[in-house]
């Protein structure tokens, strides 16, 4: 049976197509009625359709619903028939589309087969890639291990082999910068051989180790000779040790490190050689410096230069100028000697320059110079040995000799030193040097400076007690002079006290204050004993006033507050001035003073009536007749009695003021006497007395 083409079959079917077969006869005009229709819920449906435009339009036009429904159904049927006709017209295109879809399906089937093949091939490739990746990782690990092995082997070879150049430098080369670098390389090889246990088991070590040992021995030998030679250079005269240390020895300090690490016995020899060299060199330098300083020393005080020792002796009149200069300018007065503390940071003295100028110095100046040289030298040596040897203990071995030389000299000088001010200055110098070393943070001389300080204080106490005992045990008869002016012992004491007070201002040493208090009590007792040698009480008082006033003046001139001593002497001066004023007035106006003192200032009228005109009239007339002359005599007496004009002026004013007070009380007593007005013509006016007081106050 032959197949009929699809287009022809479709055309034949089209000719025989009858729409009625599909649609049939529709009776649209028949009214369908049903007895079962119910109007229940109609109102609700109408309410729901109220807002529907189509329904509203039908109801508005009055069209019957059944007719409208038939019309709609006819329209739908017509549209359906038209749609069928459209599909029939497009049948050829649908057949063509069907063929195309079938061709596409065949093509897609072929592509599916190709992609499936590709997928299979990709799966096999992935397996191959995975295998390659595993091989790559294995090769990478082997490469890493080989590189690590190569690195270690390369380092091992580098550390263990001995290059010919190194052998040439160590054996034949000079000790210079290149030699130092080669020495460091050799040190690393020696440490490598000794430190790594794997190296010791290697066969290469058997070939290399003897060569390395020979190089070590050669290096040690050459270093030893080089360093010892440099050490001996330090012994040459006029060698600047610090320059040699800083510019040469420190440059080759690795040689000491090499010996310390690889030849400890040789290092000990080198260390001992340096200690011996520097000990002898520095000891010789300090010994020579001390001998040069001794030529510059000025003798200040001896065991007889004490506060309470008399200056009179055979030939005193011819030696008083020299003695006064010695005792007042050097032994007891600080003066310019204080400058040594202001120059504490100045360089040490150069003896030959000072000797060429014929200059002499108190010992504290030489002491400062010697100690300054010592601390500067010690600082330099301490820093050098710490840097060069890496040891602080070596310093003490080196400086044992120099410190012993300085100690021997110092102890010999201190044993014969009777200069209390000089000793106190040395105590302050040591304190300043301790501060300098503290600021430098160099502790190497702490024990030495403490020892010197502990030696100075007992000596100062001993000399101070000599001065104190010289006042306590002074021979009054040999010290006394028939002169009311200040005694030379007072001046000594005042200058001595002012000097020590000035040196104690910034330190506040309580023990020194107590000693000064003991000294004040001793001088005060001595002055009272000397004053009693005068026959008249007035002369005794004048003597004490002059000495107290001089003491206060010197304490003030020293630039300090004078401490407790000044306050005490101001009080006793005030009390003695009051005594002198009374004695002076008693000498010229004894009757007036006696009368006034027997009459209380607040006596009643009844007691006043007991005083008669005959009793006061002689007093009034006597005062009027000679008060001017008496005041003039008082003025002359004060001028000749007191060395200090300012003090004399104050005393005269106090005396005249007291006189005015006595006379005022006399005039008040006269006014209270019956008939006392008869004496008014003889009474001197207060203004007249004030005029005389002002006149003499101006001229004094």
**What is the predicted pLDDT for the residue at 561?**
59
At CB < 8 A and 24+ separation, what contacts does 451-455 make? 452/371, 452/410, 453/427, 455/410, 455/411, 455/414
Percentage of the chain beyond pLDDT 90 is 27
Task: Please give the pLDDT value at position 321.
Answer: 42
pLDDT tens string 245-301: 888 888 888 888 888 888 889 999 999 999 999 999 999 999 999 999 999 998 888
Structure tokens at 548: 């107290």
pLDDT of residue 4: 41
Torsion on CA atoms 387, 391, 394, 399, rounded to nearest 10: 50
pLDDT tens digits, one per residue of 563-616: 678 888 989 999 998 998 888 888 888 888 888 888 765 544 444 446 677 778
Q: What is the DSSP string of 228-294?
A: HHHHHHTTSTT--HHHHIIIIIGGGTHHHHHHHHH-HHHHHHHHHHHHHHHHHHHHHHHHHHHHHHH
Neighbours of 556 (CB within 10 A): 13
Looking at the whole model, is its pTM more than 0.85? no
Count of CA atoms in the C-beta half-sphere (13 A) of 203: 0
pLDDT digits (tens, 9 = 90+) for 467-482: 999 999 988 988 888 8
pLDDT band at residue 22 under the 50/70/90 scheme: very low
pLDDT tens-digit readout, 349-388: 888 888 888 888 999 999 999 999 999 999 999 999 999 9
Domain residue extents for the chain: 57-147, 164-262, 279-310+326-473, 583-601+611-697
C-alpha 659: how far from chain center: 64
pLDDT value at residue 509: 80
Compute the average pLDDT of residues 551-563: 76
Q: What is the dihedral of CA 550, 552, 556, 558, to 10 degrees?
A: 60
Is a pLDDT exceeding 70 seen at residue 313? no
Q: How confident is the model at residue 560 (pLDDT cuts 50, 70, 90)?
A: low
pLDDT of residue 683: 84
Give Cα separations from 222 to 121, 172, 247, 538 (angstroms): 79, 10, 20, 94
Beta-ladder partners of 297: 361
Q: What is the pLDDT of residues 168-202, one digit of tens each?
A: 888 888 888 888 888 888 888 777 776 666 666 56
pLDDT at 663: 84
pLDDT at 465: 94
Cross-strand bridge partners of residue 361: 297
Query: Position of tokens 């016995």?
Result: 265
3-state secondary structure of 361: strand
Within 13 Å and on the Cβ side, how many CA atoms surround 291? 6
What local confidence, expressed as pLDDT, does residue 318 receive? 38
Tell me the average pLDDT across 311-340. Answer: 59
What is the rounded average pLDDT for all residues in the chain?
Answer: 81
């Amino acid at each position: 049976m032959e197949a009929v083409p699809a287009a022809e079959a479709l055309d034949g079917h089209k000719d025989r197509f009858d729409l009625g077969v599909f649609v049939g006869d529709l009776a649209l005009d028949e009214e369908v009625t049903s007895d079962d229709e119910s109007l229940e819920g109609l109102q609700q449906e109408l309410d729901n359709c109220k807002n529907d435009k189509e329904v509203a339009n039908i109801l508005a036009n009055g069209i019957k619903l059944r007719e409208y429904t038939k019309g709609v159904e006819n329209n739908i049927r017509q549209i359906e028939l038209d749609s069928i006709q459209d599909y029939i017209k497009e049948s050829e295109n649908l057949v063509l589309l069907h063929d195309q879809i079938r061709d596409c399906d065949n093509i897609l089937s072929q592509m599916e087969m190709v992609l499936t093949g590709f997928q299979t091939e990709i799966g096999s490739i992935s397996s191959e890639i995975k295998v390659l990746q595993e091989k790559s990782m294995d090769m990478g690990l082997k490469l890493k291990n080989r590189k690590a092995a190569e690195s270690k082997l390369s380092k091992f070879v580098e550390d263990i082999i001995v290059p010919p150049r190194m052998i040439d430098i160590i054996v034949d080369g000079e000790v210079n910068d290149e030699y130092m670098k080669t020495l460091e390389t050799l040190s690393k090889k020696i440490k490598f051989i000794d430190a790594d246990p794997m190296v010791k088991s290697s066969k290469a070590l058997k070939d290399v180790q003897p060569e390395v040992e020979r190089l070590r021995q050669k290096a040690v030998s050459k270093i030893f000779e080089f360093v010892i030679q440099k050490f001996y250079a330090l012994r040459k005269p006029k060698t600047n040790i610090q320059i040699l240390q800083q510019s040469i020895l420190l440059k080759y300090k690795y040689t000491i490190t090499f010996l310390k690490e690889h030849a400890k016995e040789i290092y000990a020899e080198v260390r001992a050689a340096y200690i011996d060299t520097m000990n002898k060199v520095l000891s010789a330098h300090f010994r020579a410096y001390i001998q040069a300083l001794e030529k510059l020393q000025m003798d200040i005080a001896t065991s007889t230069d004490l506060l309470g020792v008399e200056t009179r002796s055979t030939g005193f009149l011819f030696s008083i100028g020299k003695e006064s200069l010695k005792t007042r300018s050097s032994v007891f007065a600080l003066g310019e000697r204080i400058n040594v503390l202001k120059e504490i940071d100045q360089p040490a003295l150069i003896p030959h320059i000072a000797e060429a100028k014929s200059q002499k110095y108190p010992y504290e100046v030489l002491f400062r110079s010697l100690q300054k040289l010592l601390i500067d030298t010690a600082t330099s040596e301490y820093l050098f040995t710490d840097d060069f040897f890496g040891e602080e203990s070596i310093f003490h071995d080196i400086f044992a000799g120099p410190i012993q030389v300085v100690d021997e000299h110092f102890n010999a000088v201190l044993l014969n030193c009777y200069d209390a001010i000089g000793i106190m200055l040395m105590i302050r110098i040591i304190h300043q040097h301790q501060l300098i070393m503290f600021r430098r943070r160099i502790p190497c001389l702490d024990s030495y400076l403490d020892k010197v300080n502990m030696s100075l204080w007992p000596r100062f106490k001993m000399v101070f007690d000599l001065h104190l005992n010289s006042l306590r045990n002074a021979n009054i008869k040999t010290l006394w002079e028939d002169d009311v002016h200040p005694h030379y012992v007072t001046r000594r004491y005042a200058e001595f006290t002012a000097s020590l007070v000035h040196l104690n201002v910034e330190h506040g040493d309580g023990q020194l204050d107590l000693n000064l208090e003991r000294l004040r009590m001793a001088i005060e007792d001595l002055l009272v004993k000397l004053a009693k040698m005068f026959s008249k009480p007035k002369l005794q008082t004048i003597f004490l006033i002059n000495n107290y006033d001089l003491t206060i003046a010197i304490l003030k001139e020293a630039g300090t507050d004078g401490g407790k001593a000044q306050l005490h002497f101001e009080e006793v001066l005030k009390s003695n001035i009051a005594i002198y004023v009374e004695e002076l007035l008693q000498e010229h106006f004894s009757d007036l003073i006696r009368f006034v003192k027997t009459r209380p200032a607040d006596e009643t009228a009844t007691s006043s009536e007991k005083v008669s005109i005959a009793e006061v009239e002689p007093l009034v007339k006597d005062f009027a007749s000679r008060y001017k002359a008496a005041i003039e005599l008082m003025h002359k007496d004060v001028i000749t009695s007191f060395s200090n004009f300012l003090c004399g002026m104050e005393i005269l004013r106090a005396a005249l003021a007291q006189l005015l007070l006595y006379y005022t009380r006399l005039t008040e007593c006269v006014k209270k006497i019956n008939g006392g007005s008869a004496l008014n013509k003889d009474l001197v006016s207060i203004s007249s007395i004030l005029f005389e007081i002002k006149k003499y106050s101006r001229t004094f």
